[in-house]
Structure 1
Amino acid sequence: MKKALIRNNIMLVILAFLLFLAVALFVLYRFQWKQQDTFMRMIMAEVELAYNNHDDDAAVFVLDYAGEHDRRITVLDPQFRVIADSHDDRVGTDKSSRPELVEPDTVKARYSTTVNLTMLYIAREMEDGNYLRISVPAATQTAAYNQLILWFSLTGLAFVLIYAGGLFKLNQNLLAPWEQAKKGMKALKEGRYQVMTTFHPYPEINEIIHEMNDISLDIARHVRNVERYQEQLSRVLNEIKQAVMLFNHQNILLYANKDARTLFDLDDEAIGNPAYHGIRSTEIKQAVTDVNQNRKESAFDYKKDGSVYEIRAFAVADKGSAHEDATVLLLCRDVTQSRAVEQMKRDFFSHASHELKSPLTAIRGYAELIEHKLVKQEEVEDTARQIVRQSETMTTLVEDMLMLSRLENIKETTYTRQRLDHLLEEVVITLKPISDHKNMTLSIQASDIEMMCDPLDLQKLFKNLIENAIKYSPADTLIDIQLHLDNDHIIFKVADQGLGIEPVHQQRVFERFYRVDKGRKEGGTGLGLAIVKHVVLKYQGKIDLQSKVNEGTTVTIKMKKNM
């Protein structure tokens, strides 16, 4: 209201002043033009008299009479061609198109390209038939007019400013209480409580402002509590490590936490728009629709970029009446690792059961033969050896399973300083009977290396790799074993001249119970290379396998000496 009053009053004054200024300027313009016309005719009369009485050449005349008032004098023949010009040496120039020559004895104002100024012109025919043209700079005649316009403008502006200042001060005293109330309401809208003073000369206004202060204080307290709760809730939702989204009854996305924005590549524009704007999965959009329309909750898996997410959609409220009411809660939890672990457990128990079943079946079969006296006396000893052999297979399998379980569930481990060359030597001694049986040569090159480790880990690693090389190499061949340092890394290499591994199997030989050829007679537990892989991972190492069919296999282990 204050601004409207001031604006309307000032506009009225400005309009009145502009109308007065326009009338004054018009009158001044007419007066100034009349003065210019009179002035130019006086000069023309003076120069005309001198021209009619001169006896010299026209060029001399124009130079003699051009100096006063910055005059420019031009003499033209009856065809309006220049005979002489005080400011231009060129003669013979056709000036017939000039306005002052088209309408002689009339004052004209135009821009001259010869002198680059706006000039006042007048031309008149002389007694000898020639034409005399006089021109002077327009600025010499309009200076006073321009000063008068400037004075009028400045005076009017000063009047408007003085009037506006007085009007502003008057309205300020009248409307100050309402302006203060407006600021208080605006601050409350922005979440800030601002006390409004009540020291005004109007008691009624003081009472209203006092009530507004009480209401504003209550609202400010409530807003602060809500904001604090929202901040805590948002922090919790961002820390629970799963995507959380809320939708209303129109499938419009109302909220998405940090994980949801990352998972579905949502930006700020997605909030407040239907689900299909930011979420491309038809299953998720259908799940939200089912909850809103049929109150049907659902749970399913969603795959993206090689990861698996468990999606759960369920109702959190009845159909909301307001646009901001949330009706559907969507939770997305990354279950990639847990699903992989579950699958690994299923595969492990399946393979373990199968591997244990074979020796148990054999032991039971031999035992039943003995029980029913179907084994001859001379075959009892051989049957007993078979039972012992199958028992040893079971024992080895169980030991490897326990070893693998220990490596997968690493807790605090106490390492001791060990000589790796000594551990390697002990392993080679235990495997020597097997290599001697196949008349194989073990070439060992081992440096003196100490390392903080669990000796059982390294013994298993050495044994499994060397034993595999012996088992899957033909008799009378060489196995090259190397153990040395390369800067701060320990290098252990085993190279054989065996059957080799096809490329399709090379990436899988380190999986549990994986066998390249399940029909081979030389079969182990299927856990040896899996144990090797877990030992290498435990000591932050790397495995490199190079193999060619019927040429041999080379396995290189690289581990940090000091972890």
Structure 2
Amino acid sequence: MTKKIFKSVLLVAVVMVLFCCTFILGILYRHFTTIEEEQLGAQLGFVVTGVENGGVDYLKSLTEKKYRITWVEPDGTVKFDNKTDASKMENHANREEIKESLKFGRGECTRYSSTLTQRTIYYAKKINDGSVIRISISQETVLKLLFSMISPMAITILLAVILSSLLARGVSKKVVEPLNNLDLNKPLQNDAYGEIAPLLRHIEHQHRQIDEQVLELRQKKDEFQATIENMDEGLILLDAKNSIISINPAAKKIFGTTDECLGKDFLTVERNTSVGNTIKEAMEKGKAEIILKRYGLDYQLGISKIESAGKTLGAVLLAVDVTEKNNAERTRREFSANVSHELKTPLQSIIGSAELMENNLVKEEDMPRFVGHIRKEAERLVNLVEDIIRLSWLDENRDMETELVSLKDIAAETKEALENTANEKNVTINISGEDIKLHGVRSLLYEIVYNLCENGIKYNKEGGKVDITLSKEAGKDILVVEDTGIGIKEDQQSRIFERFYRVDKSRSKETGGTGLGLSIVKHAAMYHNADVTLESTEGQGSKFTVMFPREE
């Protein structure tokens, strides 16, 4: 700042010196020129009077050589000149001052030398005989005077530089010291110049804005940190050298590491070569992904390159648990294969029987049996298609119309619908407990009770029973279907709700089961936010419990 003040003071001083010198010189030059012109005019009057009275003799008698005096005839011939031989001088008829004198009686003119450093003032006057007396004086121009003042002005400017330097030090110290003592953290509490008050107010305003922005950034950072800390997905940020700069708890768990990994190369934490190749691919192509298996789970590791203005800044790694998705896809493929098989089996049986009948390979007395077989397989096929449609609807989780449903009424309807089937096996269906009413989809609730009771009859013993019990316990409405049938082996119990799974395939084929009944029960219960549990002992029977959340 001292340099700026010095330059400013010096510039002002030099400009002022130059201006003052030039201004004063101009005024003085103008003043003295005016005086000299007045003296020249007066002197011309004296000379004219002398010439008119004394002629050439008067001019020769003049000893004053300050002025040049020239006597010019009316035709321009020089008759006399006090400084040059008149006979050698050119005709002056075309001189401006001579022409004016001959025409108006008086004339004047100023002419400059070729170097512009000298100027000559000419005054002329016509006398009685018609000739002209001219008087002139030469003087230095302002430019010549300025050149002559270069040395004094240089000395003056040098003095100005010295004084400016001293003045700048003093002024800058006085000006800068209060500025250096400013507390910019508390701008409005400073006792400084009034002129910088607007600046201090602006700084205070900037501080408030910066504080607000910092607070906002901190809040966003905290929100981002809280978000990634509570994510189920694993998130890792890498720099351009693959060093870990951020990792959330989920990622630590997936890759089996701790906060100590921060700053380390990710490939020293995850030594899987495939992961390293995937990161390299992402850096080349922008994105890449790979499936990782960890702790019995499938993770889709997506890697995206981070870049700005064409420069690679790092990468972000996101590990998403896709186990359920993969299992669902696997189940879908298995289901498709099973559906194809289950549909193909009765169709092949129907086609086989029809071909035998078409080729007259069936005896007349066996014809009813073959027709009955075709009808039975067709019914099985229809039941299978209907069950598949029901499951598809449940898988799509469609919104269905709900109503207030009495489970006791549904149990009674189920008992009536299965009465003939139960009588064929001499199985008794009993209903007990209190009436439970809940909001639900009537058709799905009927499927739950019907399928559980139907299985209880199909896989029961001769003379057995199926008990339907309704009760309320601890905020839940409970439906229990218990039979005295063949039971289910312990190693098969975890799979009975799978689609097309049959505990006893031969018995299922005989009874016309599709293998989808319990899967429908499970999905229908899930639609109502209910849980289904099984208790079974081989040879003693099975107990299915469906627990519905009670409505307030």
- 1:272 and 2:274 equivalent? no
Q: Which amino acid aligns with 2:399?
A: E
AA at the equivalent of 2:425: K
Give 1:402 deviation, angstroms: 1.8
TM-score normalised per structure 2: 0.56
Larger deviation: 248-257 or 383-392?
A: 248-257
Q: Match of 2:548, SS?
A: strand
1:471 touches 1:522 (CA, 8 Å); kept in 2?
A: yes
Query: Is 1:557 equivalent to 2:546 in the alignment?
Result: yes
Q: Is the 8 A contact 1:502 1:549 kept in 2?
A: yes
Q: Matched residues in 1 for 2:449 and 2:467: separation? A: 13
Cα distance, 1:294–1:443 mapped onto 2, change above 3 Å: closer
1 CA distance for matches of 2:473 and 2:190?
A: 82
Note the C-alpha offset of 1:195: 11
Query: How far, CA to CA, are the matches of 2:333 and 2:299 in structure 1?
Result: 20
2:283, 2:393 → 1: CA distance? 52
Q: 2:298 aligns with which of 304, 308, 319?
A: 308
> In 2, are the aligned partners of 1:545 and 1:554 still within 8 Å (CA)?
yes
Q: CA separation of 1:319/1:410 partners in 2, compared to 1, >3 Å: closer, same or farther?
A: closer
Q: Does the residue aligned with 2:488 lie in a helix, a strand or coil?
A: coil
Is 1:529 matched up with 2:506? Answer: no
SS of residue matched to 1:407:
helix
The correspondence of residues 264-343 of structure 1 with structure 2, limited to 5 A, is 270-275=261-266, 279-280=269-270, 282-283=272-273, 286-287=276-277, 290-291=280-281, 298-313=288-303, 315-316=305-306, 326-343=313-330
Instruction: State how far apart, in whole Å, the 2-side matches of 1:269 and 1:173 are.
Output: 54
Deviations 1:410-436 (A, max 9, x none): 343332222322221111112111121
Question: Are the counterparts in 1 of residues 533 and 546 from structure 2 also a CA contact under 8 Å?
Answer: yes
Q: Is residue 291–residue 314 contact of structure 1 (8 Å, CA) maintained in 2?
A: no
Partner residue in 1 for 2:447: 460
In the alignment, what sits opposite 2:408?
421
Q: CA deviation at 1:505?
A: 0.8
Task: Tell whether 2:401 aligns with 1:399.
Answer: no
Q: Which residue of 2 aligns with 1:83?
A: none
- Per-residue CA deviations over 1:94-131 (Å, capped at 9, x if unaligned) read xxxxxxxxxxxxxxxxxxxxxxxxxxxxxxxxxxxxxx
**CA distance in 2: counterparts of 1:483 and 1:443, whole angstroms:** 11
User: 1:186-205 counterparts in 2 under 5 A?
Assistant: none
Provide the residue aligned with 1:499 in structure 2: 486
Q: Quick check: 1:396–1:525 contact (8 Å CA) kept in 2?
A: yes
SS at match of 1:507: helix
Per-residue deviation, 1:318? 11
- After TM superposition, list the pairs within 5 Å mapping 1:372-451 onto structure 2: 372-451=359-438
- Aligned pair in 2 of structure 1 residues 198, 375: CA closer, same or farther (>3 Å)? farther
Contact 2:477-2:548 at 8 Å conserved across structures:
yes
Q: Structure 1: give runs of 5+ residues left out of the alignment.
A: 1-170, 188-192
Change (3 A) 1:459 1:267: same
CA distance in 1 between counterparts of 2:310 and 2:243 reads 12
Match of 2:530 in 1: 541
Once the two structures are overlaid, the 10-residue window that deviates more, 538-547 or 294-303, is 294-303
Q: AA paired with 1:538?
A: Y
Extract unaligned runs of 5+ from structure 2: 1-172
Query: Do the aligned residues in 1 keep the contact of 2:283 with 2:305 (CA within 8 Å)?
Result: no
- Whichever residue aligns with residue 558 of structure 1, its letter is M
Structure 1 counterpart SS, 2:502: coil
1: distance between equivalents of 2:471 and 2:389?
A: 30
1:290–1:297: 8 Å Cα contact kept in structure 2?
no
8 A contact 2:481–2:545 mirrored in 1: yes
Give the letter aligned to residue 290 of structure 1. K
Aligned residue number for residue 53 of structure 1? none
- Counterpart of 2:241 (choices 250, 256, 272) is 250
Contact 2:477/2:549, CA 8 A, preserved across alignment = yes
Determine the C-alpha separation between the residues in 2 that align with 1:426 and 1:468. 16
**Native 8 Å contact 1:246 1:326 kept in 2:** no
Aligned with 1:471 (options 458, 469, 474): 458
Indicate conservation of the 8 Å contact 2:282/2:304, yes or no: no
> 1:249–1:320: 8 Å Cα contact kept in structure 2?
no
| Structure 1 residue 544, shift from structure 2 partner | 3.0
Paired residue secondary structure (2:313): coil
- CA offset at residue 404 of structure 1? 1.9
SS in 2 for 1:332: strand
RMSD, aligned α-carbons? 4.6
The sequence identity of aligned pairs, in percent, is 28
Q: Is the 8 A contact 1:246 1:329 kept in 2?
A: yes
For 2:405 and 2:371, how far apart are their aligned partners in 1? 40
Q: 1:286 to 1:370 in 2, by over 3 A?
A: same
Deviates more, 1:295-304 or 1:548-557: 295-304
Distance 2:187 2:246 in 1: 31
Paired residue secondary structure (1:544): strand
Residues 174, 388 of structure 1: alpha-carbon distance in 2 compared, 3 angstrom cutoff:
same
- CA gap of 1:345–1:234, structure 2 versus 1, over 3 A, is same
Q: CA deviation at 1:553?
A: 1.8
Change (3 A) 1:479 1:411: closer
Separation of aligned partners in 1, 2:501 and 2:335: 11
For 1:308, the aligned partner's letter is: D
Deviates most, 462-471 or 548-557: 548-557
Structure 2: distance between partners of 1:464 and 1:365:
31
Equivalent residue number for residue 502 of structure 2:
515
One-letter identity of the residue aligned with 1:490 = D
Amino acid at match of 2:417: T
Q: Hey, what does 2:356 align to over in structure 1? A: 369
Report the more deviating stretch, 385-394 or 327-336. 327-336
Corresponding residue for 1:177?
Answer: 179
